[in-house]
């Protein structure tokens, strides 16, 4: 399985011009809201977590060739196949051909609004004190990792200043691998644009990135 985060487009060129859309224009085809609904419904069963879902989408090898909801649908098919919830013949036929496997829970139509409103908070209690404080200079991890990561490529091995402390949150990198939540402190780190983009930077621009403790070391 590829671990390259194809959605990590910051600082890259060659993706074409940005085409603005009308405010509130959510879907472009009748199947797209169904793809979204299926993804949310199956995700609510507990067959995987939100970080696994994001990783499945963002590491699709043909990510750049797909539209937004094609990415969602392909990610969903990938997760279903990995867990034995969808067989190749069912995917080809577009319908169930085998007995369904048992799931932890089922999202009923009448519960959708309340479940979505509740969300999935990631803040967790922790007895650990933060390693870094507001105003400290830190450097982000520079080496590649053999898994999906939420640290943007453009912000690797860069020096910034801790701007905010957010408490301990589910560590997405571990959660996406099925290694448990491994909650750790989350910080907002502010970078001068010249640190990130060099000579191509917009003057006097600051870019803030939310970064877990494992991404950082003292500069």
pLDDT at site 7:
80
Asked whether the predicted pLDDT for residue 143 surpasses 90, the reply is no
Q: List the end-to-end C-alpha distance of the chain, in Å, as a whole number.
A: 34
Q: Which domains does the chain have, with CATH numbers?
A: 31-118 (1.10.472.20), 123-218 (2.30.30.50)
Averaged over 175-195, what is the pLDDT?
96
pLDDT at site 171:
97
State both tokens at 70: 């094609």
pLDDT at site 3:
66
Averaged over 5-32, what is the pLDDT?
86
Percent of the chain residues topping a pLDDT of 70: 99
Would the pTM count as exceeding 0.85? yes
| Closest C-alpha to 218, from 141, 152, 107 | 141
* Packed helices 68-82 and 50-58: angle between N→C axes, nearest 10 degrees: 120
pLDDT digits (tens, 9 = 90+) for 70-81: 999 999 999 999
Q: For all residues of the chain together, what is the average pLDDT?
A: 92
């Amino acid at each position: 399985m590829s671990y390259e985060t194809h959605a990590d487009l910051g600082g890259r060129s060659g993706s074409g011009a940005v085409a603005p859309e009308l405010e509130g224009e959510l879907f472009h085809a009748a199947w797209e809201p169904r793809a979204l609904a299926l993804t949310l419904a199956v995700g609510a069963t507990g067959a995987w977590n939100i970080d696994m879902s994001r990783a499945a989408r963002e590491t699709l090898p043909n990510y750049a060739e797909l539209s937004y909801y094609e990415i969602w649908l392909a990610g969903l098919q990938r997760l279903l196949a990995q867990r034995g919830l969808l067989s190749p013949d069912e995917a080809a036929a577009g319908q169930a051909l085998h007995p369904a496997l048992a799931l932890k829970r089922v999202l009923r139509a009448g519960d959708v609004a309340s479940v979505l409103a509740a969300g999935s908070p990631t803040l967790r209690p922790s007895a650990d004190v933060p390693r870094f404080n507001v105003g400290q200079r830190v450097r982000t991890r520079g080496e590649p990792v053999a898994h999906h990561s939420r640290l943007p490529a453009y912000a690797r091995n860069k020096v910034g200043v801790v701007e905010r402390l957010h408490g301990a949150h589910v560590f997405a990198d571990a959660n996406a691998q099925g290694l448990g939540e491994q909650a750790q402190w989350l910080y907002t780190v502010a970078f001068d644009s010249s640190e990130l983009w060099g000579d191509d930077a917009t003057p006097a621009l600051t870019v803030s990135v939310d970064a877990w403790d494992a991404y950082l070391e003292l500069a």
